A and B are shown apart, each in its own frame.
Chain A
Amino acid sequence: MSLLFDIALVAGLIALALHVVVTRDGRGAILAFIAFGLLLGIGWARLASVDVALTEAAIGGGLTGMLLLRAHAHLAREIPPEAMSRAVPRSWLAPAIACGLVTLALGAVVLAFPQPAPSLAHQAVASLETTGLGNPVTAVLLAYRAIDTLLEKIVLILALVGVWSLSRDAAWGGASQLRPAVIPEPLVFLARVLPPFGVLIAVYQVWVGADLPGGTFQAGTILAAMALLVMLAGLRPAPQTQSKALRVMLAGGPALFVLVGFLGVAVAQGFLSYPEAIAKPLIVGIEAALTLSIAGTLALLVAGPPDRAPAP
């Protein structure tokens, strides 16, 4: 029975992926991509990777979909519709062959895996108690491979700097205009009712991430969604990007991470190593700061480059 479900799931994924590639309708492709992300999340859950499933549904489905939809709306405003729909004559043979080769090579690699597949899972679980954590995924992200996580967060900030640098000189340091001209009544209602629950769920995600699936990225995405909802419903304006408090919040997570990392040189075995006795409080503290940074970064990435002159 579960095999039947898995086959249906995989068939749905392949069909959606093909639809995203083949369809001419840009918005339809983006919507199919969002559905693809949600379905892929179910796939990860079927593989018992709940952490990945949550992140895929939040980032792959929700946030990337929203970024793409906004980009598409911008393009539609600036490019006349006939130019967008005009079919560009292009050769499809070479890309098709290249994609086919990549697929074949990937298939061959997957089939050539030794049995049992090489895994570090046992070591990861065996040293879990030195970190004080219960979730091996969080231990990998924040302790064993902390440098990867740190660089990833810094890349996010760089991406935001890239988006901001697209703003006009006059709008530098200002806010983005997110509020639509007409705000539907139900959206305002949702923006009033949902955020308290969203914040509660995000806090729970960070806290539970130490021992169970959950963590900074999932929680940050939920917070970002709540912030965007409030701004889209016009309840609060988008923040001034020149605001000191905002910039401290954005840089705070990675900065704390780096600071704790260098403290490790002084009091533990080296860069990004934690003294064993206070490993868990340190990790939870870093996660909390990172969550705020991620939430701010993701929300402002969706909000786009500032387009209003800064308030004096």
Chain B
Amino acid sequence: MGLSDVFTLVCVVAGAILFLAGTLGLLRFPDTLSRLHALSKADNLGLGLIVLGLLPLQASLMGGVKLVCIWLLAQLSAATATQLIAGIAARRKPQA
């Protein structure tokens, strides 16, 4: 097992743990905004770590670039969706 395999293993496992933690937060946190907070951590950092871990496995440079693009697009859509849901939640129940 080479050094790059250890790197992949550590990153992907860390990403998976973040997804698990995000899911736990989504299920257990009391209000919409905290749940969104937990979910966006999993989306951004968890997916980022998994992409980072998979980078050394790519045969070509293009494969790596595509993976990073997928992460960036997921970031953009997740951030927008989170903002939209948070906006609706804030409008529905004004903070005291």
A positions within 8 Å CB-CB of B: 184-187, 189-190, 193-194, 197
In the complex, B76 has a CB within 8 A of chain A: yes
Q: Which residue of B lies closest to A187 (CB)?
A: B84
Q: Which residue of B lies closest to A194 (CB)?
A: B76
Per DSSP, chain B at the interface is: helix
B positions within 8 Å CB-CB of A: 73, 76-77, 79-80, 83-84, 87
- CB pair A190–B73 under 8 Å, yes or no, is no
Q: Which residue of A lies closest to B86 (CB)?
A: A186
Taking a contact as CB atoms closer than 8 A, the residue among A186, A193, A194, A197 that contacts B84 in the complex is: A186
- CB pair A197–B73 under 8 Å, yes or no, is yes
Total inter-chain residue pairs, C-beta < 8 Å? 19
- CB pair A186–B73 under 8 Å, yes or no, is no
Q: How far is the CA of A198 from the CA of B26 in the complex (A)?
A: 29
Extra 17 A-B pairs, beta carbons < 8 Å, given A186-B79, A186-B80? A184-B83, A184-B84, A184-B87, A185-B83, A186-B83, A186-B84, A186-B87, A187-B80, A187-B84, A189-B80, A190-B76, A190-B77, A190-B80, A193-B76, A194-B76, A194-B77, A197-B73
Q: How far is the CA of A193 from the CA of B76 in the complex (A)?
A: 9
> What are the residues of chain B within 8 A of A197 when measuring CB–CB?
73
> What are the residues of chain A within 8 A of B80 when measuring CB–CB?
186-187, 189-190
